[in-house]
Amino acid sequence: MKRRSVLAVAMAGCGALGIWWLGGHGAGSDAVAPVAAHPPVAVNAAVPAVVVAPAANEKQASEAPDGDGLKRVPLPPVDTRAPAWISMAQARETGDERTPPIERSAPAEHPDAGLLADHDAYAAYELAQKQRLAAAYVQAAAPELSRLQADLERGREAGIPPEELARVAEKIRRIDQQRQAATAMLSK
């Protein structure tokens, strides 16, 4: 009997709490204002043009405040008149015009069945691939070596610590050593 009365009181309390919560936290309570919802907008609707605010000081935007040598660039303006999901849906479907183009490399060559069946022909195919790779390395290493040599000279003039200069010199030595090995492979 005692259990039933406790259960009935608990259920009545839960019911009263539910009515109070669903009814807006009390009959006369205006403490919580309703949240204004965005009007429904179609996904394919055009987003209004963005109003760009001029930068206050272009020099201030490009220089680092802490003198850390980093270049600061102003952020692109954000259109706050439309919900963010609209621009995200449009970018997903049509892409973002600010994205740089993707440069696709040439499709890889795959050997045909006849080439795979002949051991000597496949060995020649592999050698040709290795020689193309070595030629590409030799071609790319030359400008990189000259750039690193210039960096090393600028570092010496600027008074960079010898440990860091030695690291760059070692990098130059290894790239040159690999370039010489690639050149030797090409001459075979």
What's the domain count of the chain? 1
Q: What are the structure tokens assigned to 144, written together?
A: 């990189």
- Quick count: other Cβ atoms within 10 Å of Cβ 6? 10
Predicted confidence (pLDDT) at residue 181 exceeds the cutoff of 90? yes
pTM of the model: 0.44
Residue 136 in any domain: the answer is yes
Residue 145 in any domain: the answer is yes
Residue 32 in any domain: the answer is no
Task: Give the domain range for residue 120.
Answer: 113-186
Q: Dihedral, CA atoms, 170, 172, 177, 182, nearest 10 degrees?
A: 150
More confident residue, 40 or 82: 82
Residue 31: per-residue pLDDT: 47
- Mean pLDDT is lowest, of 24-38, 83-97, 168-182, for 24-38
b/e map of 100-110 (b: 16 or more CB within 10 Å)? Answer: eeeeeeeeeee
Residue 93 in any domain: the answer is no
Residue 66 in any domain: the answer is no
Residue 129 in any domain: the answer is yes
Categorize the per-residue pLDDT at 61 as very low, low, confident or very high, splitting at 50, 70 and 90: very low
Residue 103: per-residue pLDDT: 80
Residue 171 in any domain: the answer is yes
Residue 90 in any domain: the answer is no
Residue 156: per-residue pLDDT: 92
Q: What are the structure tokens assigned to 77, written together?
A: 């303006």
SS3 121: helix
Overall average pLDDT of the 63-86 stretch: 75
